[in-house]
Amino acid sequence: MPIAGSSKIDATGVLLSTTDFNGLQLNGNKDVVSVGAGLRWAQVYNFLAKEGLAAVGGRVGEIGVSGLLLGGGLSIYSSRYGFASDNVLKYECVIVDGSIVEATANDSHSDLFWVPKAGGNSFCIVTRFDLATLKSPKVFIESSEYSSDQAPKFIDAVYNFAQYGATIAKAALTPVVTIDAHMKEVRCLATKFYDSDIDISYVWSNFTKPIIKPVKHDYKLQPLNEVLKSYQGWVPGTLRRRWQVISSLATRDAIDLIHGTLISETNRRLADRANATTGVSFQPLTKEFIRQGILKGGNP
């Protein structure tokens, strides 16, 4: 039975499991990987890492392949390649009459190829995705945590990256502010990625001393599959989660409003709730990110 709010069929539809669709195969040129709909991204990255390859996919290993690709999908590679779904070359689908078809941008089922991209539409059941691969033997990941009194400088750094730093196509940033009103604890976290096999920490100068001093700091240069063994996102292991998304122009006023509302409303509503955490993750989307989607056929 579907979990209310977790899919558009809500609690009244039929939930189909694709867990047993778990095939993984590279083509002869190793530029296309066929991925079963029941896999998770950690499995895909582990498979591709043996060849020094990656794919435009999830930023957390436990995320399912289908859920990410059929909803668009943000990736650490998105500033160069667009949504994860922009890098699907072919869908294997089951249509309403039970037939199994393959859909590409230029075949007789091109409508089925366009419809699933980024919109989460369900005009068929996708059982396999053929994805473009990319060479990415290692990525740089830097994780930092900042005290609540540094929040204004943290917001400055997020805004500046959204305006200027995100034009560095190999860079990706996941900034998060979390608050536990019961414990009166506010945390500012930043996970910074760079698709490179060398140390390029200078890209993140606005997030380091002397501009802002982290209370915790760690960085690694590793293959992506190794990075994701330790990176679990900001709410790993929680029993219940609920997500909401809102889009806005990347202005300082908008970021301040979202941050301020998060703090004030959490304190007002959840001060007496133990073990409850809220947070906001700012997701800068660059012009090149959007351009890639247009170049690859556009999105619904």
User: Does position 1 have pLDDT exceeding 60, yes or no?
Assistant: no
Q: What band does 5 get if pLDDT is binned at 50, 70 and 90?
A: low
User: Would you state the pLDDT for residue 63?
Assistant: 92
Nearest to 65 by CA among 40, 30, 44, 32: 40
Q: Would you say domain 24-136 falls under CATH 3.40.50.300?
A: no
Strand partners, 171: 194
Range(s) within the chain of domains with CATH label 3.30.465.10: 24-136
206: closest CA among 159, 249, 148? Answer: 159
User: Can you give the pLDDT at residue 81?
Assistant: 94
User: Quick one: average pLDDT of 80-89?
Assistant: 95
Residue 25: CB atoms within 10 Å: 12
Structure confidence at residue 55 as a pLDDT band (50, 70, 90):
very high
Alpha-helical runs (H) found in the chain: 41-49, 65-69, 78-81, 110-114, 151-163, 224-230, 252-270, 287-295
